[in-house]
Chains A and B, each alone.
Chain A
């Protein structure tokens, strides 16, 4: 752990009966850093987040937020969490919820006004939380997370229900907080969004970290690229092209995954003089993650 690490997780281990949810996970998140925790359902993301937010006592390993055990309530004073769904009480108003959250964190209730303005909910502060739209409720959760002046923000699928404008505003708000040193741990299934906002991606699979690094580094590890074009060649002919790993053809347009796109393109141009609309695309983060998970599963099976 460095002096700027807000989160320090070491050798985290947890079981639910026979299911080994986490197997010796290490993870750090530095001040101002945004780490996206990705992986398929059942990978252990929820268990890790539960341990990090103090909701779960892990069977093994240590979890620390700024050096403190999050199981202790006072260690969560500057922890902001945005859940997929908050389940707000029917009887509380927006302003009351945010001001109340400030007081619970030991901050002045008056801080609520500035934060509500920051997330664009100030005009709705006298409305009951359950009368807000889904996107507005997500912004309300963000307001509650921000009003504690967080050193760490944990975001669980935070942009679900947000329209494009609200999403942009959401990420802009977070960027401003990160500039002030807030660490962010994000779990999401929207991988390209994670690639856009995260400094680092951690891929969890069957309770183990199988990859970690900046999104660009992870996609660079994937040798194959995608070659797309309109072609008269048939499926069998396309599969025979050099270095082609997989081919799909739909509406006269072929998509071929290639280990060496340069060789594939040269052969394609030679084989089909009518070829048009040729493109070579780099691997997406999603493709890289799927590839890593497939490879990991094959190694485990072997």
Chain B
């Protein structure tokens, strides 16, 4: 894979975001709007050294970043349905390069969600962290979204263009709520709290919380590596089945 080929692939993906921005705007506006709502309601409640709104940058931030990380699969399903992926397959570009470009092109949008939430917290006077910590959380959220990007790729190789978003949302939204991305786990029923430790959404949000609260993150990293292995296998299986 040469850098110039990857650059062209990323450029094409960025054009699809810039020239048809509706989906990207929705991907940013929806989680940021929810963040603003929940920050207004609970953001002033301090938990240790930081405000509730800053903690929500880890949880709602994970929700927003993962929402964007799930979009490459929708693009794959549309490309498959349109026939474009068939054209790409006979080009000299390995499919992994095409997929890597789709994921890479989603990163600026994902970061945009996190930045918009941070600006919202800042505007509300509830931004309680330094730039280094803020960037650290951003990096961890982006890395933590990898298993979700792979999951969306798996869906993209088996679902149709119109059904892929429905499938992705049907899987992700319950995982987001049960993983504590919308509200603290303590507010959820005990059986959901028991379930949450098995969900990658929970571990993705715990990375940012770990940075803010100074708690160890190794268990969450191990869990996300395991989730990445599983979703990578699912993506490979889905890719093979789409070629059969």
| Residues of A bordering B, CB below 8 Å | 53-56, 73-74, 76-77, 79, 81, 83, 85-92, 96, 100-101, 103-106
Contacts and interface: CB of A to CB of B under 8 A. Distances in A.
B162 interface: no
B90 A54 contact: yes
B12 A100 contact: yes
Contact of A104 (B83, B89, B92, B243): B92
Nearest to B1: A73
B90 to A, nearest CB: 4
Contacts of A89: 12, 16, 79, 82, 84
B87 A81 contact: yes
Nearest to B93: A104
Interface string B82-113: 11101101111110000000000000000000
Contact of B87 (A54, A87, A103, A106): A87
Contacts of A55: 86, 89-90, 243
Interface in B195-244: 243
Interface residues of B, number: 24
Interface of B: 2, 4-5, 8, 11-12, 15-16, 19-20, 79, 81-84, 86-87, 89-94, 243
Contacts, number: 72
Main secondary structure on B side of the interface with A: helix
A83 B83 CA distance: 10
Given A90-B20, A92-B12, A100-B8, A77 B87 contact: no
A153 B61 CA distance: 49
B91 A101 contact: yes
Contact of B4 (A56, A101, A103): A103
A85 B92 contact: no
A176 B20 CA distance: 39
Nearest to B11: A100
A94 to B, nearest CB: 13
Given A76-B90, A106-B92, A91 B243 contact: no
A287 to B, nearest CB: 34
A73 B8 CA distance: 16
B26 to A, nearest CB: 17
A101 B4 CA distance: 11
Contacts of A103: 4-5, 8
Given A89-B82, A90-B16, 5 more contacts: A73-B93, A79-B90, A90-B19, A91-B12, A105-B92
A91 B5 contact: no
Nearest to A90: B20
A105 B79 CA distance: 21
A73 B92 contact: yes
Given A53-B90, A54-B90, A104-B93, A91 B20 contact: yes
A54 B243 CA distance: 11
A220 B207 CA distance: 77
B83 A85 contact: yes
14 contacts: A54-B89, A55-B90, A73-B91, A76-B91, A81-B90, A86-B83, A86-B84, A87-B79, A87-B82, A88-B82, A89-B12, A92-B16, A100-B11, A103-B8
Q: Which of A56, A87, A90, A92 has the most CB of B within 10 A?
A: A87
